[in-house]
Structure 1
Amino acid sequence: MSNPGEADATAITQTSQLAAWFAAGCKPASEFRIGTEHESFGFTLNGQHPPRYEGGIRELLDMIGADEGLTPILDRGNPIGLTGQNFSISLEPGGQFELSGGIVASLHETKAEIDAHIARIHRVAPKLGLGFAPLGFHPTGTRADFDWMPKGRYAIMRAYMPRVGTRGFDMMLRTCTVQANLDFASEADMVRKMRVGYALQPLATALFANGPFREGKPDGMLSNRAYTWLDTDNARSGIPRAVFEDGFGFERYADYLLDVPMYFVYRDGRYIDVSGRSFRDFMAGRLAGFEGQTPTIGDFADHATTAFPDVRLKRFIETRGADTGNPAMLLAQPAFWAGLFYDDAALEAACELIRDIDYDTLITLRNEVPRAGLDIKLGKGTLRDLGRDAVAIAAEGLRARAQFNAAGEDERIYLAPLQAITEGEPTQAEYWLGRYLGAWHGDVSRIFAEAAL
């Protein structure tokens, strides 16, 4: 989750400024870039327990910061992340370790930064008796097993979550994701990409499913992370209907955000709890505790980070529907979306591919995919058939980008895991279930060593 955002103190006097804030993200295709964020669970090498903040995560941040000369991110004096040149490391509420990678031109650079992050973990974490495993849902831990990270916004969310859903604490403590951040050229380009992104999120959830265990045993799910999101906070998550309605654009998305309940206002280094209240009231000078005050663009930018739809619009587009996974899958996720989004012919083909998936069908897919995965019936085939077509389109898009590594390979190499899955190979979740029923003899704890980065 994001750290406090931009410090733009421009007063908001009319809603058109909000649409303009999004529009400022438009850039020519020649300047399109790729950003990848991914999370992993820490575990103690002795016992495979979630690490504590003191005596574990805090020391890890200190050691990495000192080792690499990184700048600590502080919250009330507590280190809660690190910033480097073109990347940052942050903490999710339960201590999940997140790399927010650089803004890069090609997936080959993404691979290099993932390799560097894994090397970083190998260099430092074992000295503290820690390892890290990229899994979509924690396979053994209960909610009580986790230490809450000392981040102000998390304290507000922790108090608010039980009021709006039954699985909010699971989302905060026991899930990990990988997401791609991608650019748009215009409002029309944004609309096409948002619609393709939303329509294919259930497919992405199925392809990247990597969370089949809950508290030490299978529970019938392939993605417990996706299942968790079905009852976390539906006022700020899921699939907004407005995206598929006529007239959708920057202004309509801003209007959607104004109806997402607030969490906080950030002032003077403090998160002030306004959870459940309205940004519309804030704009009208009626927000309790801030009567007569005018919000800033920075306030709105922060508020935009507290909406958690399956695809999120900022000044770029975040695709958020996938479980985190092994290094090959961490690369496959941005490869899939860059292939679909960053070539005009591929994007047009993707628009045609989703043409007959209406909103109600999409909601049904989203509800069923955590359990059924790629076997869900869709039209005359299954979600796996849709996946085969979508991955083929993405491959053509990456071929057209013609971005080569030192060995002369283009970015299509990063789609190999998805091509195998759509041709019938097991997903990560299915693979782990096979290990549980076979070589592990029912001992889920063995996943930590095998999944470790």
Structure 2
Amino acid sequence: MSIPSAVQSTPIRDRQQLIDYLAAGEKPSEAWRIGTEHEKFGFRKDDLRPPAFEGERGIRALLEGLAARYGWAIAREGETPVALSREKANITLEPAGQLELSGAPLANIHQTCAEVNTHLDEVRAVADELGIGFLGMGFQPKWRRDEMPWMPKGRYKIMREYMPKVGQLGLDMMTRTCTVQVNLDFASEADMVKKFRASLALQPVATALFADSPFTDGRPNGYLSYRSHVWEDTDPNRTGMLDFVFESGFGYERYADYILDVPMYFSYQDGRYIDLAGQDFKRFLDGTLDALPGVRATMKDYADHLTTAFPEVRLKQYLEMRGADGGPWNRLCALPALWVGLLYDQEALDAAWDLVKDFSREERHALRDGVPKQALKLPFRGGTVRELARETLKIAAHGLERRAQLNRHGADERVYLEPLFEIVEANQTPAERKLELFHGTWGGSVDPVFREFAY
């Protein structure tokens, strides 16, 4: 979502503007939309290595090929293509060349799934000619961090230099993780708060259901969602479960205060990124940053700064669900179906909140900390997360049934939850299935994953 150019250049004079910016996301329920984003790993089919940016078989060639063949407009930094746009959708370039579709805001999951399939078809058509494939998983299964390429985007250079100062796994987050997330609307501050609380408490359930990152450097890593673990040692100032969300009085103002305390990465000035890593955004508001003396932050700076916090649920002018590993196409449709079912039907939202409202802080953290390793089998309240996931899926299914959004075959959106129900009933996550193959027919190699699970 972009902000109007007149707003972008507006200087920030007081905190109320920051609060009002978040509140401006409010929409009546009939205007609520679904924005789905997913990332995927590219690999060269002959040697499985991630493609570099330049070269006949590079990411630049892929972007330019998509633009030429399918009508995407190229966004550049200088002469370098770094993103594509078409209508309200974007294709963006992640730090190590992971390709991300930031989908258009759509009315139902049927449209979302059609968008995903069209995108994958287009990427496959161009990538096949370059000898490139794409894989949906949460963590790069084979290549070491020092074997991953870096893409020539200004903000990534700043983050690359800063990350090792604040955590051990930040560079892994940038270069070796992929996720699927969904962005959803809210009607009012009270609606935002209830959705934020319910989804934050249930985010570990999504992590468990979508766990698909059991390998590091070609070997099992002891986790089912290593991607989720990576976020635990990336940067404590901008990640985590945000306990204050559950405190009395939480709303736009409290979230704005949180964002003001998140250290900066950069400011985009006159077509270039200014390195402000670790600097205080409040000093930017006052115009007292040493690197930009006398320059005061604008609303565009604030909108950019909102994107540099990485909690499990993130508030911008919509809510982002951020707990899931990347995966195959049907789970790219299942993730928005899960959250739309829970949050876009009032009865389902009430039931979801009833399910989690008495979770203690310690229980929420135990779920967040335990799920990356144990997923559905993590003990919880006399049972396991599997039982919590089953109940969550039932609530979501009822929510989707009441939405009654039918496709041309007369099926409602519940069809997209079927892969998740199958995972729960089998009590086997995608990661556990891959580990079974690794120790069995794959003969201790991760190489077959690039063939058997590529898009």
TM over 0.5: yes
Aligned to 2:372: 370
Tell me the CA shift for residue 284 of structure 1. Answer: 2.1
8 Å contact from structure 1 (residues 5, 301) kept in 2: no
Aligned to 2:112: 110
Q: Deviations over 1:418-452 (max 9, x none)?
A: 11122234211111111111111111111001111
Supply the distance in 2 between the matched residues of 1:285 and 1:79 (Cα, whole angstroms): 32
Tell me the CA shift for residue 342 of structure 1. Answer: 0.3
Aligned to 2:67: 65
Supply the distance in 2 between the matched residues of 1:243 and 1:91 (Cα, whole angstroms): 31
- Root mean square deviation, CA, Å: 1.3
Supply the distance in 1 between the matched residues of 2:241 and 2:269 (Cα, whole angstroms): 31
Aligned to 1:44: 44
8 Å contact from structure 2 (residues 203, 312) kept in 1: yes
Write the letter of the residue equivalent to 2:139. F
Write the letter of the residue equivalent to 1:250. Y
Aligned to 1:450: 452
Supply the distance in 2 between the matched residues of 1:152 and 1:216 (Cα, whole angstroms): 30
Q: 1:210 to 1:450 in 2, by over 3 A?
A: same
Tell me the CA shift for residue 3 of structure 1. Answer: 9.8
Write the letter of the residue equivalent to 1:404. L
Supply the distance in 1 between the matched residues of 2:305 and 2:120 (Cα, whole angstroms): 32
Supply the distance in 1 between the matched residues of 2:125 and 2:285 (Cα, whole angstroms): 48
1:23-422 matched pairs, under 5 angstroms: 23-55=23-55, 56-422=58-424
Q: Deviations over 1:18-50 (max 9, x none)?
A: 110000000000111100000100000001111
8 Å contact from structure 1 (residues 152, 271) kept in 2: yes
Tell me the CA shift for residue 408 of structure 1. Answer: 0.1
8 Å contact from structure 2 (residues 70, 122) kept in 1: no
Q: Following superposition, which runs of at least 4 residues in structure 1 exceed 4 angstroms of deviation? A: 2-7
Q: 1:5 to 1:390 in 2, by over 3 A?
A: farther
SS of structure 2 residue aligned to 1:54: coil
8 Å contact from structure 1 (residues 285, 292) kept in 2: yes
Supply the distance in 1 between the matched residues of 2:155 and 2:3 (Cα, whole angstroms): 9
Tell me the CA shift for residue 361 of structure 1. Answer: 1.6
Q: 1:220 to 1:3 in 2, by over 3 A?
A: farther
8 Å contact from structure 1 (residues 137, 176) kept in 2: yes
Mean Cα deviation higher: 85-94 or 255-264: 85-94
Q: Deviations over 1:296-319 (max 9, x none)?
A: 111100100111111000000000
Instruction: Extract unaligned runs of 5+ from structure 1.
Output: none
8 Å contact from structure 1 (residues 37, 179) kept in 2: yes
Write the letter of the residue equivalent to 2:34. I
SS of structure 2 residue aligned to 1:210: coil
Tell me the CA shift for residue 69 of structure 1. Answer: 1.9
8 Å contact from structure 2 (residues 376, 427) kept in 1: no
Tell me the CA shift for residue 292 of structure 1. Answer: 2.9
Identity of aligned residues (%): 50
8 Å contact from structure 1 (residues 4, 266) kept in 2: no
Supply the distance in 1 between the matched residues of 2:150 and 2:189 (Cα, whole angstroms): 39
Supply the distance in 1 between the matched residues of 2:220 and 2:3 (Cα, whole angstroms): 37
Paired residue total: 452
Supply the distance in 1 between the matched residues of 2:43 and 2:393 (Cα, whole angstroms): 34
Supply the distance in 2 between the matched residues of 1:358 and 1:263 (Cα, whole angstroms): 33
Supply the distance in 2 between the matched residues of 1:362 and 1:68 (Cα, whole angstroms): 45
Q: Deviations over 1:185-243 (max 9, x none)?
A: 00000000110111011111111001000111112110110111110011001111211
8 Å contact from structure 1 (residues 310, 320) kept in 2: yes
8 Å contact from structure 1 (residues 5, 298) kept in 2: no
